[in-house]
């Protein structure tokens, strides 16, 4: 069945609007700040025939780009074995070996029927602020098996025939430290499906079942063709790149991530054969998430391609089972929040060799999750979670973004005002980290430096990376400054033995944790950067006078008329 272009465009827009409305509904209704403030969630509409993505919301996290599709596809087999989807069903799971990511990311899937026939599937993922386990919040830098990280939820029905399975909910709430928040978030996640159903009802009432289905098939076909056209523009060949993690939090040895990326016409193959075997600590990740992050990297390079199942068809993968990128039970996975970043890095590193006009240098590359937890005076738990902001890599056309959210996740930083109101902490400072960017014709973006003082007895855990291996530059650009984590407890300053990974540090009132995220790598030779750009960076506090002189070769003088915008003037480049 063919469809006219106008109907196709309206249907495409309507499907994405439905997914966006689902995103926004949960963000506004959620109790936990990790959803309402940092938008750690995702929503989508999926093809009931094969689980492929039809549309996905744009307000959630990019890392769920394809991961939700794989979760739905993995769930289909279980549902089929248990009699298939029924009206009023909602399935729930967080098993990372099925749904990827980590235990905190809980996925719900609900069927959508038209005239008694299964037509589509609606799904969402929401991050729960606590999932039990040995460390509040779920990030356990010293975990050595999945059961230390929290409760595992296999695929089970949360709702049967429209009725919630209350015993199951009671079990969840009895195993988490924040039952009121989790209860509220679960209700909000469940209610989102009504938003999706209403939107699909209106669309199908307008165009009919057959026309909407034809539009969906055409959307996927066009996305596949569009992605293939981009791949065909890349010269055939195999391009290799490798990068490393500092350690896994248990064994202080580097872990290699190696990619051989092959282009063959309009097909692209990702081969991670030489990647390190499973880590003892939690720097492991399910294969489904590895695949998803490869698509996130491609989306950065080819942003015009819509997100649906057709986008993913031109790719093939070899991710050996049991390596850090294809975790098997019972490997711990809570450190996947850093593993996702290195996958993007190696894809950028490989493609920068052949399409540098599209590919940026490495972004800052570590989530650096800092968890502060404890009990209030009434005995209730509190859990505060802070993922790093940092710098993006420079590119052929621009400098890298300063103080950005991760390209893999976009998880935002909770506001200082909300944090100090909600938790017994005080921010000593929060600002741009001078000289953290990689130098280049187009420099990388700067990272962020902040310090948090505890005002009550707390426990602090940090799970990060990029201390020993800096975000790399490309095309002659320089690497960025690396990550930094330090503590001041009982008047003594110290750094963790694993540099950026440490679990449950006891903090007393007045103790402080200091954190400074990396910048992004530079693009092109620093000697090619313009005098005006160096001067602007210097006056904005992004680089120091020493860097302007020693790295960029500038001759710096104090401005004759000093104001809030101009402290220094670069009169010439050395050698001019």
Q: Is the peptide bond before 75 cis (omega within 30 degrees of 0)?
A: no
Q: Six-digit token pair at 391?
A: 């710098």
Q: Give the whole-angstrom CA distance, residue 337 versus residue 324.
A: 13
Check if the beta carbon of residue 553 is closer than 8 Å to that of residue 574.
Answer: yes
Please tell me the distance from the alpha carbon of residue 112 to that of residue 160, in angstroms, as a whole number.
14
pLDDT in tens, 471-502: 999 999 999 999 999 999 999 999 999 999 99
Per-residue confidence band for 410, with pLDDT thresholds at 50, 70 and 90: low
pLDDT at 564: 58
Spacing of C-alpha 242 from chain mean position: 20
Q: For residue range 172-211, what is the model confidence (pLDDT) as tens digits?
A: 999 999 999 999 999 999 999 999 999 999 999 999 999 9
Residue found under tokens 């201390």: 467
| Assessment of whether the complete model's pTM goes beyond 0.75 | yes
Handedness of CA 352, 320, 142, 185 (dihedral sign): positive
If you compute the radius of gyration of the chain from its CA atoms, what whole number of angstroms results?
24
- Compute the distance between CA of residue 456 and CA of residue 459 in angstroms, rounded to an integer: 10
- Return the structure tokens found at 12: 């495409």
For residue 76, count other CB atoms closer than 10 A to its CB. Answer: 19
Burial-class residue 267 by CB neighbours within 10 Å (0-12, 13-18, 19+): middle
Per-residue pLDDT reduced to its tens digit, 350-372: 999 999 999 999 999 999 999 99
Specify the DSSP element, H or E, that contains 259.
strand 255-264
Reported as a single tens digit per residue, the pLDDT across 265-287 is 999 999 999 999 999 999 999 99
| pLDDT, tens digit, 9 for 90 and up, residues 1-39 | 788 999 999 999 999 999 999 999 999 999 999 999 889
Give the CA angle between residues 505, 508, 512 to the nearest 5°.
70
Strand runs (DSSP E) across 392-439, as ranges? Answer: 425-432
DSSP 365: -
Residue 297 Ramachandran class (φ > 0 left, ψ -120 to 50 alpha, else beta): alpha
pLDDT level of residue 560 (50, 70, 90 thresholds): low
Cα of 91 vs its chain's centroid, Å: 24
Closest CA to 403 of 535, 297, 517: 517
562-565, long-range: CB within 8 Å, 24+ apart, which pairs?
A: 565/539
Q: 43 pairs with which residues across the strands?
A: 124
């Amino acid at each position: 069945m063919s469809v006219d272009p106008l109907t196709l465009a309206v249907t495409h827009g309507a499907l994405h609007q439905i997914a966006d409305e689902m995103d926004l509904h949960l963000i506004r209704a959620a109790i936990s700040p990790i959803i309402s403030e940092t938008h750690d969630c995702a929503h989508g509409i999926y093809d009931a025939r094969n689980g492929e993505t039809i549309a996905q919301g744009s307000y959630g996290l990019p890392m769920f780009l394809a991961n939700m599709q794989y979760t739905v596809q993995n769930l289909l087999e279980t549902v089929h074995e248990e009699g298939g989807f029924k009206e009023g069903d909602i399935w729930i799971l967080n098993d990372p070996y099925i749904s990827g990511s980590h235990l905190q990311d809980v996925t719900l899937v609900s069927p959508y029927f038209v005239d008694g026939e299964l037509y589509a599937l609606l799904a969402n993922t929401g991050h729960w602020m606590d999932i039990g386990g040995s460390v509040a919040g779920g990030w356990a830098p010293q975990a050595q098996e999945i059961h230390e990280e929290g409760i595992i939820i296999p695929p089970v029905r949360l709702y049967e025939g429209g009725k919630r399975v209350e015993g199951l909910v009671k079990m969840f709430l009895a195993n988490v430290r924040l039952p009121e928040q989790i209860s509220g978030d679960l209700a909000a996640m469940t209610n989102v499906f009504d938003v999706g159903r209403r939107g699909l009802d209106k669309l199908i009432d307008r165009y009919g079942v057959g026309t909407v289905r034809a539009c969906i098939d055409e959307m996927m076909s066009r996305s596949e063709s569009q992605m293939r056209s981009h791949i065909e523009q890349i010269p055939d060949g195999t391009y290799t790149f490798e990068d490393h993690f500092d350690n896994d939090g248990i064994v202080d040895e580097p872990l290699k991530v190696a990619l051989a990326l092959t282009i063959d016409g309009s097909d692209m193959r990702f081969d991670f054969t030489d990647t390190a075997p499973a880590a003892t600590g939690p720097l492991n990740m399910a294969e489904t998430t590895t695949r998803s992050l490869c698509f996130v990297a491609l989306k950065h390079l080819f942003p015009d391609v819509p997100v649906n199942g057709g986008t993913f068809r031109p790719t093939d993968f070899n991710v050996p089972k049991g390596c850090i990128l294809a975790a098997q039970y019972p490997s711990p996975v809570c450190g996947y929040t850093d593993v996702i970043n290195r996958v993007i890095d190696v894809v950028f590193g490989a493609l920068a060799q052949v399409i540098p006009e599209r590919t940026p240098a490495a972004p800052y590359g570590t989530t650096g999750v800092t968890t502060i937890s404890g009990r209030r005076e009434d005995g209730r738990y509190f859990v505060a979670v802070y993922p790093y902001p940092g710098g993006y890599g420079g590119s052929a056309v621009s400098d890298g973004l300063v103080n950005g959210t991760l390209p893999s996740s976009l998880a935002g930083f909770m506001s200082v005002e909300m944090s100090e109101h909600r938790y017994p902490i005080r921010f000593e400072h929060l600002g741009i980290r001078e000289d953290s960017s990689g130098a280049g014709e187009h420099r990388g973006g700067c990272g962020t430096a902040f310090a948090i003082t505890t005002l009550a007895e707390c426990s602090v855990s940090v799970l990060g990376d990029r201390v020993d291996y800096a975000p790399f530059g490309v095309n002659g650009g320089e690497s960025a400054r690396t990550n930094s984590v330090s503590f001041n407890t009982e008047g003594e300053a110290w750094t963790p033995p694993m540099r950026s990974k440490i679990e449950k540090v006891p903090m007393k009132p007045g103790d402080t944790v200091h954190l400074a995220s990396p910048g992004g790598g530079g693009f092109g030779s620093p000697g090619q950067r313009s005098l005006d750009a160096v001067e602007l960076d210097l006056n904005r506090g992004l680089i120091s006078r020493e860097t302007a002189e020693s790295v960029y070769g500038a001759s710096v003088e104090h401005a004759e008329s000093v104001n809030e915008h101009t402290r220094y003037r670069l009169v010439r480049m050395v050698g001019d």
